[in-house]
Amino acid sequence: MTKINQLELKKAQLNQWIRKQAEKMGFDLVGIVPADPPKLIDRYREWLNLGYAGEMEYLHRHFPLKQDPKNLLPEVKSVISLGLNYYTVEPDAVRKLDPTRGQISRYAWGEDYHDVIRKRLKRLVKKIEKRLKRETKSRVFVDSGPILERDYAQTAGLGWIGKNTNLINWQKGSWYFLAEILISLDLGADVLPARGSCGSCTLCIEACPTDAIVAPNQVDARSCISYLTVELKEAIPMDLRPGLGNLIFGCDICQEVCPWNTKSQPTSVKEFQPRKGNLLPKLADLIGITQNEFSQKFKGSPIKRTKRRGLLRNVVVAMGNSKDPSMVEPLQSAILDVEPLVRQHAAWALGQIATPLAETILKKKLQNEKNIEVIIEIESALQIIESENIKD
């Protein structure tokens, strides 16, 4: 056997060993590819240029870093791409029909996945170094790093990027967190043969309440409920609010309707099991939560990303969408909130419910409100109620 063949054999053996170690740690998907520039960088550039990133300015700032993994780690030679299942079965799905309860995306039911996965990635790097009896140069990323993770996962054969832009695995669906290890080892490539496709299916496109999937494989974040409830820090556009329904953090609709997810199996990761209060919480119970209570309740949870003002903004929108008169009383508290953003959306919500009490609350608040955005929302809500009264 030549030296070249021996070297390739050692690469293949190490590659397979890494895969087995990752699987022992609970990773469901593992693939290794050379650290080449991402294949979809031009498509990503076009997506940014179309303005589909909305107010996520950091995506524009990070674009130069995403063009080549060597911009993140000059010594990198391989990318280890991994997927960890987070699918958790909802124990009482019928409650989703109750509009007075809020829906939270599955990925945020449990502990913050960034922390959970990052620890596993660092452990895997340590295992690799122990086997080789030397240190390596490496960096680990979990969703928040400037790397086109779905690009590398697709290249590694972990699945294909579906029409809803999620990575879909033909055997296991799309309920996966993706992560990467950039490492200074030439591991060659151990790519699984790619299988499956979306074919002619358009269920995700049709199911999106805000029509955010503007074309196959292309999402306009500015209309996406996940963006609106998590990334957007200011007011949710009025015309998009009805589409949120009772979704108060993230959205799973395009994954829930995906036929490939009928194969999904529940995760074995205990940290992803629902925290108390995160599964279909009563909307009224979240109104009045103080900053200190918010910080304590959502410590170590992805939900903390919205901050208190963002979560309550989402909650009062869901209250308005419920059209339930029982929501007027908690909204009376919300329209007095210290945050103008919350008061603004509470005014809209009262206009959607449009009871005599809602009208009284709005008129009273209009007398002493100083914030111009809130005043505009109150006046708009009163106009809606007036038009409803004329119809009656």
User: Can you spell out the DSSP letters for 332-386?
Assistant: HHHTT-S-HHHHHHHHHHHHHH--HHHHHHHHHHHTT---HHHHHHHHHHHHHHH
Q: Span 356-372, mean pLDDT?
A: 97
pLDDT at 100: 94
User: Catalytic: which of 98, 143, 186, 220?
Assistant: 143
For the residues 98-102, what does the mean pLDDT come to?
Answer: 93
pLDDT tier, 224 (very low <50, low <70, confident <90, very high otherwise): very high
Give the span between the Cα atoms of 162 and 147, in whole angstroms.
19
Q: Please write the tens of the pLDDT for every residue from 149-184.
A: 999 999 999 999 999 999 999 999 999 999 999 999
- 3-state secondary structure at position 180: strand
Position 390 scores a pLDDT of: 66
Number of other residues whose CB lies within 10 A of the CB of residue 100: 17
The helix, strand and coil proportions of the chain, stated in percent and rounded to the nearest 5, come to 50, 10, 40
Q: What is the pLDDT of residue 128?
A: 96
- Token readout for 346 is 């509470």
Give, in order, the Cα–Cα distances in Å from 55 to each of 16, 189, 334. 42, 37, 26
Q: Which is it for strands 138-141 and 176-183: parallel, antiparallel or unpaired?
A: antiparallel
Q: Tokens 């990334």 correspond to what residue?
A: 231
Give the pLDDT confidence of 38-95 residue by residue, as tens digits: 999 999 999 999 999 999 999 999 999 999 999 999 999 999 999 999 999 876 554 5
Distance CA 162, CA 21 (A): 28
pLDDT at 188 over 90: no
Beta carbons of 238 and 348 less than 8 angstroms apart: yes
Average pLDDT over residues 242-269: 96
- Tokens representing 364? 């009273």
Nearby residues of 169 by Cβ (< 8 Å), 6 or more positions away: 29, 83, 158, 159, 176, 196, 260
Give phi and psi for 32, each to the nearest 5.
-130, 130
Residues in the chain: 392
Active site residue 143: yes
Q: How far apart are CA 383 and CA 388, in angstroms?
A: 9
**CA atoms of 391 and 262, how far apart (whole Å):** 45
**Banded pLDDT at 378 (limits 50, 70, 90):** very high
Per-residue pLDDT tens digits for 102-121: 999 999 999 999 999 999 99
Bridge partners of residue 249, in order along the sequence: 104
Cα(250)–Cα(351) distance, integer angstroms? 24
The number of helices, as runs of H, and strands, as runs of E, in the chain is 16, 10
